[in-house]
Amino acid sequence: MNEQYVWSLHEVDETRTATFGGKAAHLGTLSRIEGVRVPAGFCVTTEAFRRIVAQAPSVGDLLDRLSHADPDDREAVRALSAQIRRTIEETAVPDDLAAAITRALARSGERAAYAVRSSATAEDMPTASFAGQHDTYLNVVGPTAVLRHISRCWASLFTERAVAYRRRNGIDHRTVHMAVVVQQMAFPQASGVLFTADPVTGNRKVATIDAAFGLGEALVSGLVNPDVLSVRDGRIVARKIAAKQRALTARPAGGTHEVAVHPEEQEQPALTDAQALRLVELGRRIEAHFGRPQDIEWCLVDDGFRIVQSRPITTLFPVPQRGDRDNRVYVSVGHAQMMTDPMKALGFSMWQLTAMVPMHEAGGRLFVDVTQRLASPASRAALLDALGKGDPLVRDALETVLDRDGFVPPLPRPAPGAGGPPPGGGGAPEPVETDPAIVADLIERSRASLAALERDIRTKSGPALFDFLPEAFEEHKRLLSDPLSMQAIMAGMEATWWLNDKLEDWLGEKNAADTLTLSAPGNITSQMGLALLDVADVIRPLPEVVAYLHDVQDDGFLEELAKLPGGPEARDAIEAYLDRYGMRCVGEIDITRPRWRECPGALVPVILDHVRTFAPGAAERRFELGRQKAHRKEQDVLARLRALPDGDRKADETRRMIDRVRTFIGYREYPKYAIVSRYFVYKQALMREAERLVKTGVLAEREDVFHLTFQELDDVVRSGRRVDPRLVRQRKDAYRAHLDLTPPRVLTSDGEALTGSYRREGVPAGALAGVAVSAGTVEGRARVVLDMADAELEPGDILVTAFTDPSWSPLFVRIAGLVTEVGGLMTHGAVIAREYGLPAVVGVERATRLIRDGQRIRVHGADGYIEILP
């Protein structure tokens, strides 16, 4: 049977993207939607492209070289891409293929004009649009010209920009093929782009139109400023009419050219209001068909719209799925937990099952629905206060939503507790007496519960494990919600706020608690950072061990380490550290992340830096210096207070609060440590189960279990049904796409993503505002670090990063200051910065992009801003 290389667009649909490419598949589907008009045409299939490549054997070798080229060697990539393009363009189109294309052209008349458009198999995908990566040619006249431009479209699969885009999205060059769409040319009065959701705010109810005179290429290429209209609920809610001085039009003999727009017409709207509303109505029909917001290219021809492309908008942050159409307001869990990266399916489902409040997943992140608490006047103020203390930008974003009439209608009467406590915290527990025995008792309870979990889970496997785990999760939640634990946490936090407020009021001193909490006892996270200095002390005098660690390439190094002189002592020191802290890692709220116990090599660079940078005994000296500094501060504050009117009362109250903060503030970090310790026990049991599933052929690879939800894994274990590899592949693709999304602090059911803003005075022009969390001013070299594994820090450097969870604390002992994009007064990075006496500003929007690695900056830890220095 002869291969059919040319198909009418009406025969093309989305079930055969591998044959027709993404653009043709969408156009074919569009052409069958009622009321949608698509210029007629045909598609030259990917089989034709494969045939051309097969005729040029050198392309295969060039592709191999391109796949193995260093992505940073732009000259090599550019040269190889150009060579592949040249080879394809110079390969003759076979006679039978040329004849089939010519016959298709003859149906419209030999001198008709056409648009010749690329349609790659990796194009207009839900996770990668490839917009503008491949070539389109307009107003191509005559069979010879059409054939030449089809070859150019094939070759455009290897433009330098398309090659880079594929590499960034993890797509193998050899798996992508090119079809070509040939359509009758439309000669529009106006054209442009319709977004069925606002591409800036993400609001799904607001459609945005960009419109200009003539052909749309002028708008896409940036030749003209378009009119911009926003449409909501059938009415135009915003418009900006541009002065359109130029337009792109078709030449009679083929090709396009720029023309000047008559001065009297330049500020005329490209579309009437009625046309704009009709276009949006058409866009909503297309959006409904595809089931997600669309980026639609359109032309206006004789007062009728032609749709020339529709692709998903891939940059929008997804909205949590729900069963009703009521307005909802969601707050990010990741911003409270200091982990805004996406989580894999097992990770977010486990967090949902062990959390104290219902959580909703979107874009691989978790959100809490706070709508009811905002709607009730009784709970709104407490919610805003609690969230504002954690992150002022969250509060500002919520207030922005509340300012919009009717989005959150007030409840007729209070609904206490509706919607649960805010993310990462509860209500306001009763105060607790200052007694160190309370903390000791809480820690002992937690340890006993963990020991019971480790003992009981050891004998469980298969369905019995999944019968047991829900009980373990209930105990997990019981520990989290222990009223005494909540009281102890709040006692430390409220004492901090009291000291800062009162001492600023009485003594004019800002953030006094930052010094008074230095080296507070019992902080498991700051102890973790200092304990690695003690490990370095063991290793420092062992030159063969140090040399060996410099060459460590994998995580199996501890066994070999013991064979070296001094190796057993070094191994024992690292093992002891892992026994206490090995359940931790970067992004530890996601159970799928590799723990230090699983990947101890992650700690080696930090240990070696400590060996090089610090003298023996640094941990003890550092802790003692902080304790003495806090003690001196306490004596100074109390003496100054006693000199004031009513000074004895003020001093006594302050001393009681200092005792309280030093008793309880360290415990603030322990519940997270307990959660992560339990998580590691769950993970070890689940990974044993994954290994069993691989052996029985149910699972292809052990780590595939990460891309199943807990509920799906439970079902697989009980049923023994093989996991569909397509589901795992789809989840992996979704996770990669989620990595490119920036989660908002606040998200509405309309899809609007809000980040909030700082509305305060006193920040110098050009400075970056944030939250003041640890007092002091420091100047130094900014080190922008996005991955802890890439940290190359010298003493005196200022760490600039997106977020820091407890796993980053070993780095804190050698930096001079901290800047993060996420965080608040009581988040982990802030607490540890105060413990170590590091000036710190957190919640600095886009800090890792606005501050360049190596720049000199000045951190104002008490005033909450960063200056970028010359």
Which residue carries 């930090």 as its tokens? Answer: 606
Report in angstroms the alpha-carbon separations of 685 from 272, 391, 679.
64, 36, 10
The amino acid that residue 364 corresponds to is G
Count of residues making up the chain = 870
Neighbouring C-alpha atoms within 13 Å toward the C-beta of 585: 20
Supply the DSSP string of 459-492, one letter for each residue: T--HHHHHHHHHHHHHHHHHHHT-HHHHHHHHHH
- Give the active site residue among 177, 335, 738, 828: 828
Sequence-distant (≥ 6) Cβ neighbours of residue 623 within 8 angstroms: 519, 530
Report the alpha-carbon distance of residue 167 to residue 175 in Å, rounded.
Answer: 12
Question: Which among 130, 141, 491, 131 has a CA at the least distance from the CA of 297?
Answer: 131
Sequence-distant (≥ 6) Cβ neighbours of residue 470 within 8 angstroms: 353
Supply the DSSP string of 588-611, one letter for each residue: TTSTTSPPTTT-GGGGHHHHHHHH
Find out whether 686 and 713 touch, Cβ atoms under 8 Å.
yes
Report the alpha-carbon distance of residue 283 to residue 274 in Å, rounded.
Answer: 14
Tell me the pairing of strands 817-820 and 798-801. Answer: parallel
SS3 116: strand
Query: Contacts by 13-19 with C-beta closer than 8 Å and gap 24+?
Result: 17/121, 18/46, 18/121, 18/177, 19/45, 19/46, 19/47, 19/179
Report in angstroms the alpha-carbon separations of 775 from 525, 633, 798, 805.
20, 13, 14, 20
Question: Which among 205, 191, 192 has a CA at the least distance from the CA of 237?
Answer: 205
Sequence-distant (≥ 6) Cβ neighbours of residue 704 within 8 angstroms: 690, 723, 728
Tokens found for residue 486:
């909540």
Find out whether 853 and 782 touch, Cβ atoms under 8 Å.
yes
Q: Report the 10 Å Cβ neighbour count for 800.
A: 26
Q: H or E segment at 298? A: strand 294-301
Q: Is 550 among the catalytic positions? A: no
Neighbouring C-alpha atoms within 13 Å toward the C-beta of 446: 23
At 229, give phi and psi (nearest 5°). Answer: -125, 140
Report the alpha-carbon distance of residue 193 to residue 770 in Å, rounded.
Answer: 37
Sequence-distant (≥ 6) Cβ neighbours of residue 70 within 8 angstroms: 76
SS3 content of the chain, % helix, strand, coil (to 5): 50, 15, 35
Number of H helices, E strands in the chain: 31, 26
Q: Report the 10 Å Cβ neighbour count for 243.
A: 10
Sequence-distant (≥ 6) Cβ neighbours of residue 382 within 8 angstroms: 427, 428
SS3 2: coil
Q: Report the 10 Å Cβ neighbour count for 430.
A: 10
Report the alpha-carbon distance of residue 715 to residue 732 in Å, rounded.
Answer: 20
Gyration radius of the chain over CA positions: 31
Tokens found for residue 482:
């222990």
Active site residue ranges: 828
